[in-house]
Structure 1
Amino acid sequence: MERGSEPSTGQQVGVSLALLILDLMVIAWLVFRYGMTGWADSYDQGNLPRAPKMAWQGMWLLVGGAVVTGGGLLALRWRTPGIMQLIVLGVGAGLLAALALSD
């Protein structure tokens, strides 16, 4: 295998930071959406709460994103951003699953 075929460490760190910012924005949006749905549920006592369903949907979105982006980056030999994607999106999915189970 040639040494030049793998991305440099600087490229991997740059991609990791860019994806980290995007990941945190998506996780924050999903948690905010869960909170707003829970707030709306408090005014609609007659029906079943919808916030846990929103949390489960967000969890599956993050799990799918982790598999697609993390797995794809690992397949392309971008190990640092691939592992980071799996960890960050996996932790976000765990957070949303915990929120869904807490209701």
Structure 2
Amino acid sequence: SNMHDEALVYQLKLVDLQRTNLSSNNKEIAVSLRGLARLYQTINNDKEATKYFNQRLDIFQVIYGPEHNYVKEISNELGQLRDSVTISNAVGNEKK
């Protein structure tokens, strides 16, 4: 929808601005990446959602280390997303 498109444009601009003005592993960027990933999930673009969740995971791993709860939560979210991508790809292939 148009609303989602506008939200995506603003969120992408925000991430660009933050990446220009903040250190590369800043927590604020990770927060914005989550918003971006969620927006892509809303419009069923799991491929882009996965990309931004992965970038968020990278930042949190640098900040907190691999054993931190935040890192584990994001890994779980990514796992669920990967499962849904795999399922939708399988369903898509069956329709061909």
Normalising by structure 1, we get a TM-score of 0.38
Bigger relative contact order, structure 1 or 2, given CA contacts below 8 A and separation 6+? 1
Normalising by structure 2, we get a TM-score of 0.40
| Greater gyration radius | 1
